[in-house]
């Protein structure tokens, strides 16, 4: 029959399309501040390890990931059998959804939070309970704990939270864990933990695994380790069962050989991690100060990105427009689009808040010092224009 497309499963229609960053076609002279990557390339040692691995690419990668598991086990002092791996930590999140959720089940997460969380209820038919962030754009852990019911299978906590950059102290997380029954999986997504002064030492949360077998701490090599293009994430698990379940629902070779080798080598260079964190935190302070000096509200950032609200500049912008707006929300959304477009014209790519659950906001990655200055100069022009 003509005019009929392929008939897909109902769930495929429900799954939101991941809001990918644009601008990969804009050439080199662009400040890529839209995806929270590291501005630093892999070290020569990591490049050498990758090229050794690629030389043996006729073989499948090690399906037991023994070197990487061993390196992570040593680093975090937990048994290798309790380390789940993935093609990025997003791969583990999606596998967790598949392993844990089904129609009738519920999962609880804050909103706005990491956009991939939305995939889990859509793909599984489980019910999402989205708990609004508080006025400071932080997780409201009390409200989240209050949403746990007999149907809850999964609670997701994003610390620091993407896209709002705010972090929770570990005591709050501990108190939530105390209120969640032991058969409910809690994923603590710590993709940005190295940058957090509030959350503190990245090893501190790992101690929680000794008390909560239902806890999974999710980490990634895509941020501070600068390996986003190779895709490696891992989950430190309170018990082995989570790891075996997420392995069951995936293909056997989910982390390629180059990525495994790069991650093992990158772990050996913690001095480099510390150097990157220091450079990022210094650039972040400058960026936040500059944006605040333009009269805009900026969330307390504990990550390698910042989150700002345009609300306090919308009246000035509206007064300069030659059109009228029906209401504040429409004006704010139009202002956001105008700023995002203006930044792009000036070679700065950032994430629009509208795509992340809050119109009139923006998420901006902390890049190199020059990139941050390029962003703040462009924003100043656009706010004052």
* Dihedral, 64, 67, 69, 74 alpha carbons, nearest 10: 150
Interaction of residue 36 with ligand PLP, rule CB under 6 A:
yes
Tell me the C-alpha distance between 120 and 123, whole Å: 5
SS3 246: helix
SS3 25: coil
Q: Which residue is nearest to ligand PLP (CB)?
A: 88
CB of 226 to ligand PLP, least distance (A): 11
CB of 20 to ligand PLP, least distance (A): 11
Interaction of residue 375 with ligand PLP, rule CB under 6 A:
no
Pick the piece of the chain touching ligand PLP (CB under 6 A) from 18-26, 82-90, 167-175, 241-249. 82-90
Q: Considering beta carbons, is residue 214 or 365 the nearer one to ligand PLP?
A: 365
Interaction of residue 114 with ligand PLP, rule CB under 6 A:
yes
Q: How many residues bind ligand PLP (CB under 6 A)?
A: 13
Q: Considering beta carbons, is residue 100 or 382 the nearer one to ligand PLP?
A: 100
Q: What's the Cα-to-Cα distance from 354 to each of 58, 132, 214, 218, rounded to whole Å?
A: 45, 16, 34, 26
Q: Considering beta carbons, is residue 195 or 212 the nearer one to ligand PLP?
A: 195
Q: Provide the 10 A C-beta neighbour count for residue 178.
A: 10
Q: What's the Cα-to-Cα distance from 73 to each of 67, 196, 211, rounded to whole Å?
A: 10, 22, 18
Interaction of residue 90 with ligand PLP, rule CB under 6 A:
yes
CB of 36 to ligand PLP, least distance (A): 5
CB of 302 to ligand PLP, least distance (A): 12
How remote is the C-alpha of 99 from its chain's centroid?
Answer: 21
Tell me the C-alpha distance between 112 and 276, whole Å: 27
**CA dihedral for 21, 22, 27, 31, sign (positive or negative):** negative
Q: Work out which of 133, 191, 255, 283 binds ligand PLP, going by CB under 6 A.
A: 191
CB of 233 to ligand PLP, least distance (A): 4
Q: Work out which of 78, 96, 129, 158 binds ligand PLP, going by CB under 6 A.
A: 158
Pick the piece of the chain touching ligand PLP (CB under 6 A) from 87-95, 280-288, 316-324, 341-349. 87-95
3-state secondary structure 87-153: CCHHHHHHHHHHHHCCCCCEEEEEECCCHHHHHHHHHHCCEEEEEECCCCCCCCHHHHHHCCCCCEE
Pick the piece of the chain touching ligand PLP (CB under 6 A) from 72-80, 86-94, 251-259, 341-349. 86-94
Per-residue mark of binding to ligand PLP, 216-245 (x: CB under 6 A)? ----x-x-----x----x------------
What is the length of the chain? 385
| Chain positions contacting ligand PLP, by CB under 6 A | 36, 88-90, 114, 158, 162, 189, 191, 220, 222, 228, 233
């Amino acid at each position: 029959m003509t005019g009929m497309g392929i008939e897909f499963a109902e769930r495929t229609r429900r799954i939101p399309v991941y809001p990918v960053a644009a601008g990969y076609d804009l050439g080199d002279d662009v400040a890529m501040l839209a995806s929270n990557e590291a501005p630093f390339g892999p070290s020569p040692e990591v490049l050498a390890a990758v090229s050794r691995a690629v030389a043996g690419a006729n073989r499948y990668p090690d399906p037991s990931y023994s070197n990487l598991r061993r390196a992570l086990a040593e680093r975090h002092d937990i048994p290798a059998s309790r380390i789940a791996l993935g093609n990025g930590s997003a791969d583990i999140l999606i596998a967790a959804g598949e392993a844990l959720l089904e129609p009738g089940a519920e999962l609880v997460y804050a909103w706005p939070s990491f956009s991939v969380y939305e995939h889990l209820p859509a793909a599984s038919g489980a019910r999402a309970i989205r708990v609004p962030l508080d006025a400071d754009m932080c997780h409201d852990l009390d409200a989240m704990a209050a949403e746990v019911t007999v149907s809850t299978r999964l609670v997701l906590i994003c610390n620091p939270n993407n896209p709002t950059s705010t972090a929770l102290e570990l005591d709050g997380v501990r108190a939530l864990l105390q209120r969640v029954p032991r058969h409910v999986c809690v994923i603590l997504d710590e993709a940005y933990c190295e940058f957090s002064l509030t959350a503190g030492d990245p090893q501190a949360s790992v101690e929680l695994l000794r008390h909560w077998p239902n806890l999974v701490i999710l980490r990634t090599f895509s941020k501070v380790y600068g390996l986003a293009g190779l895709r490696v994430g891992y989950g430190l698990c309170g018990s082995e069962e989570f790891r075996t379940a997420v392995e069951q629902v995936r293909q056997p070779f989910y982390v390629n050989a180059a990525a495994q080798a790069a991650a093992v080598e990158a772990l050996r260079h913690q001095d480099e991690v510390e150097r990157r964190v220091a450079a990022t935190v210094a650039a972040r302070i400058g960026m936040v100060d500059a944006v605040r000096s333009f009269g805009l509200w900026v969330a307390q950032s504990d990550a390698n990105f910042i989150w700002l609200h345009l609300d306090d500049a919308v009246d000035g912008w509206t007064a300069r427009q030659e059109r009228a707006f029906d209401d504040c929300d429409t004006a704010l959304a139009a202002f956001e689009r105008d700023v995002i477009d203006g930044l792009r014209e000036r070679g700065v790519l950032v994430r629009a808040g509208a795509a992340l659950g809050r119109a009139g906001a923006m998420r901006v990655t902390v890049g190199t010092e020059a990139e941050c200055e390029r962003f703040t100069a462009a924003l100043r022009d656009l706010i004052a224009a």
